[in-house]
Amino acid sequence: MADLSTCELSLHGNRVSYRCGGQGPVLVLIHGITSSSASWEPVLPELAEHFTILAPDLLGHGQSDKPAGDYSLGSHACIVRDLMLALGHERATIVGHSLGGGIGMQVAYQFPELVNRLVLVSSGGLGREVSVFLRAVTLPGSELVLPLIASRPVLDAGAAISRALGRVGLQAGSDLAEIARGIASLNELGARRAFVHTARAVIDTGGQRIDARDRLYLAEAVPSLVVWGGIDPIIPARHGRRAHELMPGSRLELFDHAGHFPHLDEPLRFVRVLRGFVATTEPADVRPEDARALMLARAA
């Protein structure tokens, strides 16, 4: 079995933690909001047998630093780029889950020369709808409520958490376990502050305010895979279906009985689908003239 390590690197004065190892084509795994590279644990050992893994903890998340700074999609995309280049990875297949999907699309848009393929897993940035919990974070004063939600007595009351999350559509299983783990991370002031800034950068009280659908036609230049859980309570599966329609040449894999974390609900299938996608597609080689031709054709 391939070895995986947790390492650290200082980028622009901030400590970035990441998991790395394995062998083969480079795979960059970008987690979602309040999560960390740990959210990929069930699929990492098998993926590392076939790929060189780079799974960062985004700034403000996991073991990485939590500075008072920019938590926009563009800023996260720059950190992903800088980490890749600092470690000598000039190109990679980018896999993004939830918020990480939005970041992955931003990487592909800002730095297309880095992206061999793009994989969106229950991705944000593809429609307005999002869970009530995330919309509530954008309300004034949410910073004062989060410490109470993330307090140890509340976290220890598993039944209470289950009832509360159930009211916003989350069911027991991977969704509940991962959201509860994410809430637990908010017990730290820096993580809480980063969470609020990150959420408000992409969401308002009406839902997601960052929408990449007007640029999805550019995916024609990059092999793309959309993976979604059929019963996702956070971001509805119809976002994935619509994205697939708008991304020329893309593939769609619906995990009918999975929630917001299909890679946790069905890890073996997820690995099989990802391996098959990489094995049957040629890496992109996007040049400025290619993007220019697509944009001009769209404008015509």
Residues annotated catalytic, as ranges = 98, 232, 260
Q: Is the separation of the CB atoms in 55 and 35 below 8 Å?
A: no
Residues with Cβ within 8 Å of residue 41, at least 6 apart in sequence? none
Place of tokens 């031709």: 293
Q: Which two tokens stand for residue 165?
A: 């999350």
**DSSP H or E stretch at residue 5:** strand 4-11
Give start and end residues of each alpha helix (H) in the chain. Answer: 44-48, 73-86, 99-110, 132-136, 142-149, 152-156, 158-166, 174-185, 189-202, 237-246, 262-265, 267-279, 288-299
Between the CA of residue 291 and those of 111, 118, 172, 273, 285, what are the distances in Å? Answer: 12, 16, 44, 28, 11
Q: Is the separation of the CB atoms in 11 and 25 below 8 Å?
A: no
CA distance 174 to 271: 17
